[in-house]
Structure 1
Amino acid sequence: MRVAVVNWRDPWHPAAGGAETYAWEMARRLAALGSQVCFVTARAPGQRRREDVEGVRFVRMGGPLTVYPLVLAWLLLRRGRFDAVLDCQNGIPFFTPWVLPRRTRVLCVIHHVHDRQFGVHLPRWGAAIGRFLEGPVSRWTYRRYASVAVSPSTAAAMRERLGWTGPIHLVPNGVHEPVVAAGRSPAARLVCVGRLVAHKRVDLLLDAVAQLRQGRPELHVDIIGRGPEEARLRARLPEGVTLHGHLPEEAKQRLVAGAWLHVTASQGEGWGLSVLEAAALGVPTVAFDVDGLCDAVRHGETGWLLPEGSDFGKGVAAALDEMDGGQYDAYGERCRAWAARFRWDRSVARMFALLQGRAAAPGHEEPWP
């Protein structure tokens, strides 16, 4: 097949996150299956306009906002070239059906519904425009097309909050086999992995550190990630916290593997890829019971889900006490078994079937119970 993967960033963009990992894993594995894949995306300073990586052709143009009209114009000039398009929505989709022939199969990939997050990142007028584009305009544009959600809560939010009417298929994130051995640190350690943006609410974790260290003076917190909030967060780091920024994969895994808990105070996710990566290393997660994270974390089995608005520090302290009470091995085994159910090859096989207009192949049903 000739496939265009349209995503606002690529995995090497300075602001890349889990959505970019998802798009890249789909692209490179579709190419490995024999498809001709073109990854169309924005261009960060210093990036090449065109290059080939692992059989995928990258075409880069525009910035955070200009990428949208530029990609539409690029596709319009090549409207008969592709059999299928993965139109990845990161708050706002690319509206590729506007410029493509009806025979081109379009799958709108949605990680999570952004309606509430627009108000966190944008002024009131900008948030209103974002919600209008994500809601009524997207609903009308993709009404005749199938869509892909990465988790059950995302699919439910599409129906309930966006009024989505077309078919929605679940194609989850996968996880790679860890390259380091699991094994927690003797002293209590927490790790938080993710982009440093406002809706991740890293401040809630920092606010809880003093409270947590009263009962465990040796406790240390490692924060891994980069983003627009990094400088502000560095300026207010309490004692016992290290903000590492971006780390190579092996170094990141080594820190995660040594942690007692992976923690996130995020307002909502599509899934929470860092949760799955921590689980693969046997590390459970403490998170709020919000979209995406309520799917990635199995409460009482692979971690703990706290009621939204509850005291984050108390929730983490209770989880630390449970881990210190002899539950580490049991949680680790359940975490690794849960993560093993999610593999990129399995997800790509399902996506490939959808791109061909088929239902998922036998054995590739959704892994959720």
Structure 2
Amino acid sequence: MNVAVVNWRDPWHPASGGAETYAWELARRMARAGHAVSFVTARAPGQSRAETRDGVRVRRMGGVFTVYPLVLLWLLVRRTRFDAVLDCQNGIPFFTPWVLPRRTRILCVVHHVHDRQFGLHLPWWLAAVGRFLEGPVSRWTYRRHTGVAVSPSTVRAMRERLRWIGPIHLVHNGVSTAPPESDVPRSPVPRVVCVGRLVAHKRVGLLLDAVAELREQRPDLVVDVIGRGPEEAALRARLPGGVTLHGYLPEEEKARLIAAAWVHVTASQGEGWGLCVVEAAALGVPTVAFDVEGLRDAVRDGETGWLVPEGGTPAADLAKGLGAALDEVADELTDLGPDTYNMKCRKWAGRFSWDASADRLMALITGADVEER
């Protein structure tokens, strides 16, 4: 088959995140299976317009907003070429049904519903446009096409908040983290790691506030924040003691820091799934997160981590949740039994595979009878 994957960014874009990992891991597996795959995306400064990686043809055009009309024009010119299109909605989809023939199999991939996040990143009038495009316009455009969600939370949000009427199928994230080449011992002092893009809705500032409170009782607490983004300068200006902001790290170095941690934490106000949560679990590290969309699916409360209730005083609640988690993990640092958080995390992460997700996606593309979820 000839397949186009259209996504806002590619994994080498400086602002890439979990959505880019998802789109790329599936694209490269489709290419490996013998399909002709084009990955069509925006072009960051310094990136080439075209290249081939892992058998996938990458085509880059446009910026944050101009990528949408340029991709539609690119597809319109080639409208009879593709058998299937993976239209990835990163807040706003590409509306590919507007330019493609009806025979083209179009799957709209939704990571999470952005309606409550538009206001954090955009002026009010542009946020209103975003909600209109994500809601009524998308609902009408994709009403006859298959929806793909990455978590049960996203399925519910699509039905309840976007009033999505078409079929929705669940295709989970896999796990990308490769274990370090040599064993990494747990840190001898309490150590917390936070992995993710430094953007407003990730609320890394709440973690910094919580750390300041936690270090009053645990002065040896160490915190590693891994990631980059527009909030980096503001966060660096207010780092409390014991916190290191690493920015971007190569995969091997990132894995070593995660593996040495007692606990992984995310303060995000909502996710589609929480890829970093399961990547930490694959290294045996449980996660503390707020009980919000996506993260309540990726974290099995009391087994592979802990969910902190929303609605109180966020920084204080996060500090309390982290403190309790560190106490629990401290009691089993030398225990290698099957009921430890370490082992339960690894078992949970072992349930997710990019190969299995790609197989399920291809079944949807080819029209196989796949159960709707």
Which TM-score tier does this pair reach, normalised by the shorter chain? over 0.9
Partner Cα distance (1:184, 1:263) in 2: 16
SS at 1:30 equivalent: helix
Equivalent residue number for residue 203 of structure 2: 201
Q: 1:235 aligns with which of 237, 250, 261?
A: 237
Matched residue count: 363
Q: Specify the alignment match of 2:324 in structure 1.
A: 318
Could you tell which deviates more after superposition, 267-276 or 302-311?
Answer: 302-311
Structure 2: any 5+ residue segments left out of the alignment? none
Q: Distance in 2 between matches of 1:11 and 1:218?
A: 36
- Aligned to 2:87, the other structure's residue is in SS state strand
Question: In structure 1, how many angstroms separate the alpha carbons of the residues matched to 2:321 and 2:344?
Answer: 20
2:373 maps to 1:347: no
Q: Which region of structure 1 is more displaced relative to structure 2, 120-129 or 255-264?
A: 120-129
After TM superposition, what 4+ stretches of structure 1 lie above 2 angstroms from structure 2?
Answer: 176-179, 325-329
Shift, 1:126, TM fit: 1.2
**1:210 aligned partner:** 212
For residue 192 of structure 2, what is the aligned residue in structure 1?
Answer: 190
Are residue 333 (structure 1) and residue 343 (structure 2) matched? yes
Structure 2 matches for 1:242-281, cutoff 5 A?
242-281=244-283
Percent identical pairs in the alignment equals 73
Look up the match of 1:51. Answer: 51
Q: Which amino acid in the other structure matches residue 94 of structure 1?
A: F
The Cα shift of 1:183 comes to 3.4
Match of 1:286 in 2: 288
Q: Distance in 1 between matches of 2:293 and 2:98?
A: 30
Residues 174-199 of structure 1: CA distance to partner in whole angstroms, max 9, x if unpaired? 00363313531111000000000000
Gaps of 5+ in 1: none
Corresponding residue SS for 1:326: coil
- Structure 2: how far apart are the matches of 1:179 and 1:86? 30
User: What amino acid maps onto 1:43 in structure 2?
Assistant: R
Aligned partners of 2:264 and 2:4: how far apart in 1? 35
Match of 2:67 in 1: 67
Partner of 1:9, secondary structure, is coil
Amino acid at match of 1:332: N
- Assess, with a 3 A threshold, how the Cα gap between structure 1 residues 40 and 193 changes in structure 2: closer, same or farther: same
Stretch moving more, 242-251 or 169-178: 169-178
Per the TM alignment, residue 79 of structure 1 is displaced from its structure 2 partner at its CA by: 0.3
Aligned counterparts of 2:369 and 2:283: Cα–Cα separation in 1:
32
Q: CA deviation at 1:309?
A: 2.9
Residues 247-293 of structure 1: per-residue CA shift (max 9 Å, x gap): 00000000000000000000000001000100000000000010100
Structure 1 residue identity aligned to 2:308: L
TM-score (norm 2): 0.95
Contact 2:207-2:267 within 8 A present in 1 as well? yes
User: Which residue of structure 2 lines up, in the alignment, with residue 357 of structure 1?
Assistant: 367
Verify the 8 A CA contact 2:177 2:255 in the aligned structure 1.
no
TM-score by structure 1 length?
A: 0.96
- Three-state SS of the structure 2 residue aligned to 1:215 is coil
Residue aligned with 1:357, SS: coil
1:114 positional shift = 0.3
**1:108 and 1:359 mapped to 2: Cα distance?**
18
Of 298, 301, 305, the match for 2:300? 298
Q: Which moved more, 1:245-254 or 1:326-335?
A: 326-335
> For the Cα contact (< 8 Å) 2:179–2:283, is it kept in 1?
no
Quote the residue 2:16 is aligned against.
16
Aligned residues: CA RMSD: 1.3
Q: Which moved more, 1:336-345 or 1:351-360?
A: 351-360
* 2:6–2:88 CA contact under 8 A, matched in 1: yes
Distance in 2 (alpha carbons) for counterparts of 1:28 and 1:169: 21
Mapped partners of 1:219, 1:177: distance in 2: 25
State the distance in 1 between where 2:332 and 2:27 align.
Answer: 42
